[in-house]
Structure formats: structure tokens, C-alpha cells
Amino acid sequence: MYNPLDVLVNDLVELTFDDEDGVYDVEQIVAYVTEENGDRIQATRYFLQDVETEEEGDPLVLEIVESKTEDLATQFLFAITEAFEFDEEFVSLLDDDVFIISENHDNDKVATKEHQYRKTSQVVAQTTAVDERNETNSGDMKIWRYQREEDGDIWYLSVEVDGDDGWTTFYEGYELAEGEWQLSRLSGDL
């Protein structure tokens, strides 16, 4: 399993990014392999739960994508913005080249802002996941990748449908430039 950060599930780590830092529990690690343009691509997602807050929310998701052409991997920081059961009608929308997300704030009933994403790829990935009980599961998922530009920043959206149960998850975030983030292991065997 591709694990470039060499951390384990249940390790405590300190993540520093964008002049912020926090202590997180590694809840889950998901490695996946895809093939794009004839190249085999490996990536790993680290699901990080903030241990310094009172309420448990959705984890931050740090993704490391192996590079075939450069010495450095590409790193992304995602938030899970939606998750729901399989919906065939929804999945048919993913075939369009443009995907629009309406953003609502708090209890607003009317969308306050729309984000228009352009599709960059659609792949099937083979996955290996390690959960908080250190159980390993393998499977496949369909991934639709999109991106948008706003005020000079590039935002990424990954919509994924689990091949076994159809569970659909939206990951929305941005690329972390080399040197803009650091992860330190606080516990666990090295």
C-alpha cells in the first residue's frame, strides 16, 4: 500500500498549513491506484480528525498523489462537503463536462453563490482502506474530478462513488504547495 507519510491509523500527528496548526488522529488511510493517459497513478488519502475540538466533525483529508514526471508528489487538502447513498439520477449528471455547486450559508433557503467546476477526468480506482480498527478492505470506486478557478486560486472537486454500496462522497479543496505544510508524527511506532 502506497503510504508516503509513513503513518498508521490511530497515530497522532501535528499538521501545519496556511499558518494554522492542529493535532489530529489518523482515522483512516485509503490508498488507491488509477490509470490515466496510460500511466499508473498511486495516491493515498489520510483522514485526519481534529482532537483539540469538543465536537467531532468531518475529518480533514490530506491526499498525496505520486508523480510520474516530477521528483515531488502533489498534495491536496480536502474537506468532505457532501455524502449520501447511491442516486442513479445524480450519477447521470456527472457525465456532463460542467458541474455546478450551489453554496448556501447557515439557514439560507436560496443559494448565495454558485461554483462552476469543469471536468478534468473520470476514472475507476482500485482501493485499499485501513480503518480505525486496523481492518483492511479492498474494492473499487468511480472518481469524477473537476476544477474551478476563483480569484486566481484553483479549487478541486472529487466526486466518488463506492463500487460496492454506491456511497457517494464529495471532496472539495485545494493543492498544497511544497513547503506550505508540514506533518509531524506525535505517537506510534516508527
pLDDT digit string (tens) for 91-128?
998 989 998 887 766 555 555 678 899 999 999 999 99
Q: Are strands 168-176 and 12-17 parallel, antiparallel or unpaired?
A: unpaired
Domain map (residue ranges) of the chain: 12-185
pLDDT digit string (tens) for 35-65?
887 888 899 999 999 988 766 778 899 999 9
93 backbone dihedrals φ, ψ, rounded to 5° = -70, -25
Query: Where does the pLDDT of residue 166 fall: very low under 50, low under 70, confident under 90, or very high at 90 and above?
Result: very high
91 backbone dihedrals φ, ψ, rounded to 5° = -60, -35
Angle at 41 between CA 81 and CA 45, to 5 degrees: 35
Q: Which three cell numbers stand for residue 146?
A: 473537476
* Contact status, residue 40 vs residue 58, Cβ threshold 8 Å: no
